[in-house]
Amino acid sequence: MKKTQTSFNIETREIFKRLFGENTMLTEQLNRLLNDTTALIDSAGDTKTLYGIRVAVLGKNGSLTGILRGLKDLKNEERPVAGKLANDVRETIERELAQKEERLSDEEMERRLLYEKVDLTLDKKPFIVGKIHPLNAVLKKSVAFFVGLGFRVEESREIETVYYNFDALNTAPDHPARDAQDTFFITQDILLRSQTSTGQIRVMEKTRPPIRIISPGRVYRSDEADATHTPCFNQIEGLVVDKGVTMCDLKAVLESYAKFLFSDCTKIRFRPSYFPFTEPSVEVDASCPACHGSGCRICKGTGWIEILGAGMVNRNVLKGVGIDSDVYTGYAFGMGLNRITAIIHGITDARVPFEGDVRFLKQF
């Protein structure tokens, strides 16, 4: 800044000397004005002062404007030189003003920014995004998994006839599972489905193989609510019927599902069991996701947790819906999702998810 000013002064003085000699009044005036203004600009501390200088020098009634106005009284030969000189002075002042203004406004912005500082350790109102219920979330996640494997989603009714819940599923009238202790009845013939397997029959009645469906939904058992039971819970039923379907196919699908649910190192095992609508029937255990098989509180020391029931579709069930059981075979599986959800999230009381306590819901 200083350097520019010095070189300008020398330059201006030279021109003045050449044209008007040392003591020409106009030269003197401009020279003084330039020096005074430059000094003022230099000392200005804020943009407001700077604006005042601009008005005082370059404004309508400004000192330089007055000098410029006086140029018209000069002699013809003097006017172009004096005009050029005055213009140079004006440009110089303009430039000085602009430079100083940029510097000052930058400084002022810096100050303002500092002034705008907030304490970011503070919080105001939280931004609340609601959440899907954990029971539903695991159901949705599971549905998405099976859809990815090519399963179609077929949901089914909750209030059902005895036929779909029992008879069509090869559960004879004197079968213990038909005991009123397990099933909620509405009339002799109408009940709350105790399993999503009812969906199998409804699908097979209207679809011919190949069939590859899952049927998620709510089921009911007349269990008093306690830490491990609730009278309603979510299930997912799976059903595949086609030529050449075997139990090894079932194992592959369930293995992938268990790994998807828990982790890649999850193993599954089949244990013999019994369901009227499958034969052979198995109970499927997954290696405990908490201890990976070494035994802990969650798996009650066994290293395994029971996750679902499965099997090859009973020939009688296929016959009942008119599918040739000599040509087609199938597998089916059904799992209670509440327990799986509880295991995944470490929920120790089955009733808590049904309480709707916001402090619970916010955790997921």
Partner 1 sequence: MKVTLNWLNEYVKIDDLSVDFIKDKLLNIGLEVESAIYLGQDIDKVFTCKITEMHKHPKTDKLFVCLVDIGADEKIQIVTGATNIKAEDMSCVVLDGGRLPGKAIGTADFKGEISHGMLCSGAELRITNAVIDGAEDDGLLILPPDTPVGMDIKRFLGLNDYVLDVAVTANRGDCHSVYGIARELAVTLNRELKPLALDYEVCERRAKTRQSHDIAVITKDKKLCPMYQGAVISDIAIRPSPLWLRRRLWACGHSCRNNIVDITNYVLLEVGQPLHAFDLTAIEGDINVRTAAKNEKITALDGIVYDLDENMMLIADDKKALAIAGIMGGEFSGISENTTAVFLESARFARGSVRQTSRALGLRSDSSSRFEKGVDYFSVETGRERALALIDELNAGKIRCNLIEDKAEIPKEKVLDIKYAQFKQILGINVPRKAIKEILTRLSFKVEEITPKSPAMDHPAPPPRPLSEMSSWGTPREGNEEAFVGTPPREGNPQSSAADLNSTLHSPLSTLTPTSSLRVTVPLFREDIDNFTDLIEEVVRFYGYDKLRGTRYKSGIGQSGGISKRRENINKIEEICCAAGAFEINNFSFIPARHLDMLCLPEDDKLCKAIRLINPISEDCAFMRTQLLSSMLETIRRNQARQNEDFALFEIDNVFIADSLPLETLPQENLTLCVGFCQKGKDIFDVKAFAAALIEEFTKEFEFAPICPTDKPFLHPLIGCEIRLFTQGKAGEKEKLASEKGGDNSGISTGYFGKIHPKTAKNFEIKGDVYILELNLEPLLGMEKPPVRFVPLPKFPSVERDFAVTIDAGRPAGEIVAIVKNADKLIKNVEIFDIYTGEQAGEGKKSIAFKVTLLNREKTMTEGEINAVCEKVVLDLAAAGARLR
In angstroms, what is the minimal distance from the CB of 290 to partner 1?
20
In angstroms, what is the minimal distance from the CB of 270 to partner 1?
4
59 backbone φψ class: left, alpha, beta (φ>0; ψ -120 to 50): beta
How many residues touch partner 1 under the rule CB under 8 A: the total is 93
What residues from 184 to 203 belong to the interface with partner 1 (CB under 8 A)? Answer: 184-187, 190, 192
Closest CA to 81 of 12, 144, 140, 158: 12
Closest CA to 21 of 32, 31, 29, 13: 13
Looking at 46-54, 81-89, 193-201, 351-359, which segment touches partner 1 (CB under 8 A)?
A: 351-359
DSSP SS3 for 234: strand
What residues from 18 to 77 belong to the interface with partner 1 (CB under 8 A)? Answer: none
In angstroms, what is the minimal distance from the CB of 119 to partner 1?
24
Of 210, 265, 294, 348, the residue at the interface with partner 1 (CB under 8 A) is 210
Nearer to partner 1 among residue 61 and residue 187 (C-beta) = 187
Q: Is the peptide bond before 176 cis (omega within 30 degrees of 0)?
A: no
In angstroms, what is the minimal distance from the CB of 26 to partner 1?
54
In angstroms, what is the minimal distance from the CB of 316 to partner 1?
8
Nearer to partner 1 among residue 19 and residue 149 (C-beta) = 149
271 forms part of the interface with partner 1 (CB under 8 A): yes
Alpha helices (H) along 116-245: 134-148, 162-165, 198-206
Rounded-to-integer distance, Cα 338 and Cα 222, Å: 16
Draw the binding track, 218-247, toward partner 1 (x: CB under 8 A; -: no contact): x-x-xxxx----xxx-------x-xxxxxx
356 forms part of the interface with partner 1 (CB under 8 A): yes
What residues from 121 to 180 belong to the interface with partner 1 (CB under 8 A)? Answer: 128-133, 135-136, 140, 143-144, 146-155, 157-161, 173-177, 179-180
Give me the amino acid identity at 358: V
Nearer to partner 1 among residue 110 and residue 226 (C-beta) = 226
322 forms part of the interface with partner 1 (CB under 8 A): no
What residues form DSSP beta bridges with 240? 212, 331
Nearer to partner 1 among residue 144 and residue 227 (C-beta) = 144
C-beta of residue 161 within 8 angstroms of C-beta of residue 189 = yes
Burial-class residue 329 by CB neighbours within 10 Å (0-12, 13-18, 19+): buried
Nearer to partner 1 among residue 68 and residue 135 (C-beta) = 135
Looking at 52-60, 99-107, 115-123, 275-283, which segment touches partner 1 (CB under 8 A)?
A: 275-283
In angstroms, what is the minimal distance from the CB of 299 to partner 1?
13
Rounded-to-integer distance, Cα 354 and Cα 233, Å: 10
Q: Where are the beta strands (DSSP E) in 165-231?
A: 190-192, 211-220
CB atoms within 10 A of CB 105: 14
- Kindly give the pairing relationship between strand 232-242 and strand 211-220: antiparallel
From the DSSP assignment, how many helices (H) and strands (E) are in the chain? 12, 9
In angstroms, what is the minimal distance from the CB of 13 to partner 1?
58
Rounded-to-integer distance, Cα 239 and Cα 236, Å: 10
C-beta of residue 273 within 8 angstroms of C-beta of residue 282 = yes
Tokens 């003045």 sit at which residue?
16
118 forms part of the interface with partner 1 (CB under 8 A): no
Nearer to partner 1 among residue 113 and residue 358 (C-beta) = 358
Of 65, 273, 292, 296, the residue at the interface with partner 1 (CB under 8 A) is 273
